Chains A and B, each alone.
Chain A
């Protein structure tokens, strides 16, 4: 196996694809169908629904923290990369942030596909070592006495952050609350959206 890359990636990909097609091992329609599903049906709106439900329903919140996999399935959320989902809760005392230092492991079923920065050597190297500086890069300040927990997804367990519910949202409906839950708040690099009123 060579470590240099003599071929442009488009060429290499086409070589793999054409050989697999010729051997009858690939069905491009099937591949396309799966891609469509992954890129449209999977996304952070799934995780946001679980977060919003946890904010309004204390029993659901308990179940979500106890067994994330089962709790998101209650909402019809299931899919790739969440064979075991652990939900970790942000509180006034604890702030959580998730990484995969070895590659790019990410809970696709609840967050969709990871953004480029999550997969970058910069994020993967720095967040585990200087999380507060990385959070500051995202505009997120954490008080010195708050414990910052970095979860390195080194095995098959996937992590989702349950962000704190923003102040002043007591009258919001569950779907309005879900709209406040952005992807970055479920990775832990930002907080859930603040409310303007």
Chain B
């Protein structure tokens, strides 16, 4: 690579070692892959050097992934092309296995939940009055208001915790119906209603 022209400036300020979790995994696989292929470090380095130029530019850990494949194929652990076949587009340097119509967000936000729903359709509920400094999907206008559960909408990643690295915590989601006058006072339309999607953690039962 030394002396080749046509490259942009070295991103010297980029001192994050791993950009994505799979890169950390790639680092961890280096030794096991070599052992599996009865290879060694030099052969691995050589495999990296033999990565085709177009793929070489994909980035440091992308090169490692390509080299792994080379080592495994040459060591007889994988058949040529077998990795591509298995991964079907999930190799690190190509798009993940999604069609062009994929949901931005990959697997999406719906998750299997392991707790029963606390509320059911028809239950009277009250939204929390607590103001949180973190992220929440409960709009200010709907804080500390009484409504009725209109639908139970499955379990989903809870944005409040997920935003702060506290995990996905699949949480039941409810469509809650609020009379407009409950939200805005007597000046609001008598026949007006607001339906808001509320996570279970935003709700308390009304006794």
Contacts and interface: CB of A to CB of B under 8 A. Distances in A.
Genuine A/B complex: yes
Interface residues of B, number: 44
Contact of A151 (B104, B153, B183, B195): B195
B58 interface: yes
A172 interface: no
Interface in B178-194: 180, 183-184, 188-189, 191-194
Interface of B: 8-9, 11, 14, 19, 57-59, 62, 95, 100-105, 108-110, 137-139, 141, 151, 153-154, 156, 159, 173, 175, 180, 183-184, 188-189, 191-199
B104 A157 contact: no
A150 B192 CA distance: 8
Contact of B141 (A23, A101, A145): A101
Given A79-B101, A83-B109, A155 B191 contact: no
Contacts of B11: 19, 22-23
Contact of A154 (B8, B101, B138, B193): B138
B59 A23 contact: yes
Interface stretch (A55-63, A127-135, A163-171, A179-187): A127-135
11 contacts: A22-B8, A83-B109, A83-B110, A129-B188, A147-B193, A149-B194, A150-B192, A151-B195, A152-B196, A156-B109, A156-B197
Closest 10 CB pairs of A and B: A155-B197, A79-B101, A83-B108, A24-B59, A22-B8, A156-B109, A150-B194, A154-B137, A147-B191, A152-B196
A157 B197 CA distance: 8
Contact of A149 (B58, B108, B109, B193): B193
Given A129-B188, A155-B137, A150 B100 contact: no
Given A24-B57, A80-B103, 20 more contacts: A22-B8, A23-B11, A80-B101, A80-B102, A83-B105, A84-B110, A86-B151, A128-B183, A129-B141, A129-B188, A131-B192, A149-B194, A150-B192, A150-B193, A154-B137, A154-B197, A155-B197, A156-B173, A157-B175, A157-B197
